[in-house]
């Protein structure tokens, strides 16, 4: 998930792996919750995206982004 500094100007964006996939998985950050599998991206692409963000301070093309809630 990408949360911009100014949410009034920029939307909150979520990674988008496979928009056709069904189901959910348990995700744990402080508390366990279920998230759509649509948000999951392969590990290597996620790491590349994080690396690009730190190097360029912008979202790269390694991961597709969406503001849709599934």
Q: What is the pLDDT of residue 11?
A: 77
Q: What's the pTM?
A: 0.74
Between β-strands 24-29 and 64-66, what pairing exists: parallel, antiparallel or unpaired? Answer: unpaired
Task: Determine, yes or no, domain membership for 29.
Answer: yes
> How does pLDDT run along the chain (70 residues), one tens digit per residue?
666 666 566 778 899 999 999 999 998 888 899 999 999 999 999 999 999 999 999 898 999 999 888 8
Q: How many domains, in total, are found in the chain?
A: 1
Q: What is the DSSP string of 9-53?
A: TS--BEEES-TT---EEEEEESEEEEEEGGG---HHHHHHHHHHH
pLDDT of res. 29? 80
Reading the block at residue 26, the tokens are: 């348990």
Determine, yes or no, domain membership for 41. yes
Does the residue 28 lie in any domain? Answer: yes
Q: By residue range, what is the domain housing residue 56? A: 14-66
Query: Which pair of structure tokens corresponds to residue 41?
Result: 């991206």
Token digits of residue 66: 């969406």
Residue 3 lies in a domain: no
């Amino acid at each position: 998930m990408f949360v911009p500094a100014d949410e009034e100007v920029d939307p909150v964006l979520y990674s988008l792996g496979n928009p056709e996939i069904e189901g959910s998985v348990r995700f744990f950050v402080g508390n366990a919750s279920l998230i759509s599998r649509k948000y999951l991206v392969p590990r290597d692409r996620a790491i590349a995206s994080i690396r690009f963000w730190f190097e360029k301070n912008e979202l790269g093309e390694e991961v597709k982004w969406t503001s849709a809630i599934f």
